[in-house]
């Protein structure tokens, strides 16, 4: 059985084989087979006719006095300790080619982690309960992330208010469905996308920890938006005012921009990911996901137990070929997307904002959404 999944097995010595036997036993091969069939052999595509633009509220349409009221109610709730911040930082960041966790990438000596930590410092005053920060890492960057926070003295935040937890992992496979061996002769497992975040929050006890502290709402963001407004009080105010389960922030995408679209697919709330957008949809659906959302803890409770589907990603990874030489080839990686849980929310609003001062993603080394564009935006916002 194991030889079918690991064709190099017979070429390995007894101790390596024994080690692989142990790891292989922990895998659910029926599940791997099912995911391979569903995402690669018989993939479902999104039919353009079934996508509808989701309604959104434009920040420009909210009167100033109303904005002020929303911000004040958010502040009052934050000061009472009812909000926590959740950061997704488990990704591999392959496009950026930065050696280390993406959050450690620095502009003039200021890292992405620091840019976000600074925004939590203002809640360390006498007027406010401290905001707790929950950070999701993965096996590939957990240790380095922790050391970085330690070296940087937790950016002057109390160490006990920062909580790290690891996400789920899943094996990538070759196109012929065999498992990959790492150069260290281990079965390769990689972070399985950010959609495992709800199960990981639930299973790690972090959700329980939030609730014990009286947290009722959780602001979540991507690690790589250089100008993200962590715990934006306008979005938080809207979330409270509408008594929402989910409140999302969006932008109008530029042509060809790599952002998912907040939509209704067949009447169901969803994000159609940019990698899965049908041809011609780019300019038709203009409510772009920027990875900023607020969830109620009750919603997190529900989706912590929900099954999330896998999506296919083609990635070039290093692994051992049949002759045990290291090669780098395109393989199948399976990822869950957190927004597949949006269908469980009955109360969900989107606030569309102007991208300036809200969204500058660091995705690539050069070109669009790159080190240079993020640097310019940070400078023009006076953040560095
Ligand atoms: C993501 C969104 C996309 C959105 C864009 C905005 C997803 C699936 N897609 O795309 O709709 O328009 O951001 O910038 O979220 N992460 C993990 N674990 C993983 C993979 C990713 O924690 O296994 C984290 C990353 O560290 C990052 C965030 O999730 O903070 C987004 O992941 P990334 O791979 O950068 O997604 P994009 O393809 O840019």
Reported as a single tens digit per residue, the pLDDT across 301-355 is 999 999 999 999 999 999 999 999 999 999 999 999 999 999 999 999 999 999 9
Buried-exposed string 123-144: b where 16+ CB fall within 10 A, e elsewhere: beeeeebbbbbbbbbbebbbee
In this structure, is residue 10 part of a structural domain? Answer: no
Cβ distance 166 to 138 under 8 Å?
Answer: yes
Given ligand 1 and candidates 198, 281, 291, which is best to mutate, with the most ligand atoms within 8 Å of its CB? Answer: 291
Looking at ligand 1, which atom is closest to the CA of residue 288? 12
Distance 16 CA to ligand 1 centre (A): 35
Using pLDDT thresholds of 50, 70 and 90, give the confidence band for residue 1.
Answer: confident
Using pLDDT thresholds of 50, 70 and 90, give the confidence band for residue 126.
Answer: confident
Mean pLDDT of all residues in 2-20: 97
- Confidence check: pLDDT of 184 > 90: yes
**Residue with the nearest Cα to atom 28 of ligand 1?**
222
Mean pLDDT of all residues in 221-240: 98
In this structure, is residue 19 part of a structural domain? Answer: no
In this structure, is residue 21 part of a structural domain? Answer: no
Cβ distance 258 to 274 under 8 Å?
Answer: yes
Distance of alpha carbon 227 from alpha carbon 23, whole angstroms: 41
Residue range(s) defining the domain that contains residue 179: 47-380
Distance of alpha carbon 363 from alpha carbon 70, whole angstroms: 32
Residue 82 CB–ligand 1 contact under 6 Å = no
Given ligand 1 and candidates 222, 226, 309, 311, which is best to mutate, with the most ligand atoms within 8 Å of its CB? Answer: 222
Q: Residue 279, exposed/middle/buried by CB under 10 A (0-12, 13-18, 19+)?
A: exposed
Percent of the chain with pLDDT over 70: 100
Distance 230 CA to ligand 1 centre (A): 16
Cβ distance 194 to 166 under 8 Å?
Answer: no
Residue 232 CB–ligand 1 contact under 6 Å = no
In this prediction, residue 169 carries a pLDDT of 95
How many CB atoms lie under 10 A from the CB of residue 336?
A: 24
Residue 167 CB–ligand 1 contact under 6 Å = yes
Residue 237 CB–ligand 1 contact under 6 Å = no
Provide the strand spans (E) within 195-340: 217-222, 246-251, 261-265, 268-272, 288-296, 311-320, 326-335
**Residue with the nearest Cα to atom 27 of ligand 1?**
222
Residue 172 CB–ligand 1 contact under 6 Å = no
Chain-centroid distance, C-alpha 252? 20
In this prediction, residue 45 carries a pLDDT of 87
Phi, psi at 273, each rounded to 5°: -65, 150
Token representation of residue 231: 């715990």
In this structure, is residue 35 part of a structural domain? Answer: no
Mean pLDDT of all residues in 23-38: 97
SS3 15: helix
In this prediction, residue 33 carries a pLDDT of 98
pTM (global) more than 0.95:
yes
Mean pLDDT of all residues in 176-193: 97
SS3 73: helix
Mean pLDDT of all residues in 256-261: 96
**Residue with the nearest Cα to atom 25 of ligand 1?**
91
**Residue with the nearest Cα to atom 12 of ligand 1?**
259
Distances (CA, A) of 348 to 14, 61, 240, 295: 55, 18, 11, 9
In this structure, is residue 17 part of a structural domain? Answer: no
Looking at ligand 1, which atom is closest to the CA of residue 195? 8
Distance of alpha carbon 377 from alpha carbon 360, whole angstroms: 7
Distance 224 CA to ligand 1 centre (A): 9
Using pLDDT thresholds of 50, 70 and 90, give the confidence band for residue 16.
Answer: very high
Return the CATH number at 365: 3.90.550.10
In this structure, is residue 22 part of a structural domain? Answer: no
In this structure, is residue 238 part of a structural domain? Answer: yes
The total domain count for the chain is 1
Residue 123 CB–ligand 1 contact under 6 Å = no
Strand 217-222, strand 83-88: pairing = parallel
Q: Please enumerate in sequence order all residues whose Cβ is within 8 A of that of 359, keeping only pairs 6 or more positions apart, or say none.
A: 225, 227, 228, 251, 290
Reported as a single tens digit per residue, the pLDDT across 46-104 is 889 999 999 999 999 999 999 999 999 999 999 999 999 999 999 988 889 999 999 99
Residue 271 CB–ligand 1 contact under 6 Å = yes
* Nearest-5° Cα angle at 370, 188 to 250: 90
What is the rounded average pLDDT for all residues in the chain?
96
Given ligand 1 and candidates 194, 230, 360, which is best to mutate, with the most ligand atoms within 8 Å of its CB? Answer: 194
In this structure, is residue 78 part of a structural domain? Answer: yes
Reported as a single tens digit per residue, the pLDDT across 341-375 is 999 999 999 999 999 999 999 999 999 999 999 99
- Tokens 């992405």, residue? 112
């Amino acid at each position: 059985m194991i030889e079918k999944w690991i064709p190099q097995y017979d070429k390995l010595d007894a101790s390596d084989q024994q080690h692989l036997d142990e790891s292989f036993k922990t895998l659910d091969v029926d599940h791997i087979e099912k995911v391979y069939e569903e995402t690669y052999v018989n993939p479902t595509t999104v039919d353009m006719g079934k996508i509808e633009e989701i309604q959104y509220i434009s920040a420009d349409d909210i009167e100033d006095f109303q904005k002020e009221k929303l911000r004040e109610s958010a502040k009052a709730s934050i000061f009472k300790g009812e909000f926590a911040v959740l950061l997704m930082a488990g990704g591999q960041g392959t496009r950026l080619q930065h050696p280390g966790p993406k959050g450690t990438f620095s502009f003039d000596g200021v890292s992405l982690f620091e840019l976000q930590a600074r925004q939590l410092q203002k809640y360390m005053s006498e007027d406010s309960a401290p905001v707790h920060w929950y950070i999701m890492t993965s096996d590939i960057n957990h240790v380095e992330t922790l050391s970085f926070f330690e070296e940087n003295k937790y950016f002057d935040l109390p160490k006990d208010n920062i909580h790290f937890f690891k996400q789920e992992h899943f094996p990538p496979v070759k196109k012929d469905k065999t498992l990959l061996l790492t150069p260290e002769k281990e079965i390769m497992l990689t972070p399985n996308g950010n959609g495992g975040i709800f199960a990981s929050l639930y299973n790690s006890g972090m959700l329980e920890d939030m609730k014990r502290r009286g947290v009722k709402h959780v602001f979540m963001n991507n690690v790589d938006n250089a100008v993200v407004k962590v715990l934006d009080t306008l979005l938080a105010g809207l979330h409270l005012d509408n008594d929402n389960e989910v409140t999302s922030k969006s932008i109008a995408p530029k042509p060809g921009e790599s952002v998912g679209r907040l939509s209704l697919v067949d009447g169901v709330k969803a994000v159609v990911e940019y990698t899965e957008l049908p041809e011609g949809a780019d300019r038709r659906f203009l409510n772009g996901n920027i990875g900023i959302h607020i969830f109620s803890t009750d919603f997190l409770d529900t989706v912590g137990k929900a099954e999330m589907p896998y999506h296919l990603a083609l990635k070039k990874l290093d692994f051992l070929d049949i002759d045990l030489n290291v090669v780098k080839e395109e393989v199948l990686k399976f990822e869950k997307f957190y927004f597949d849980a949006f269908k469980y929310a009955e109360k969900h609003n989107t606030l569309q904002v102007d991208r300036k001062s809200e969204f500058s993603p660091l995705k690539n080394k050069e070109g669009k959404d790159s080190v240079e564009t993020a640097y310019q935006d940070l400078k023009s916002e006076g953040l560095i």
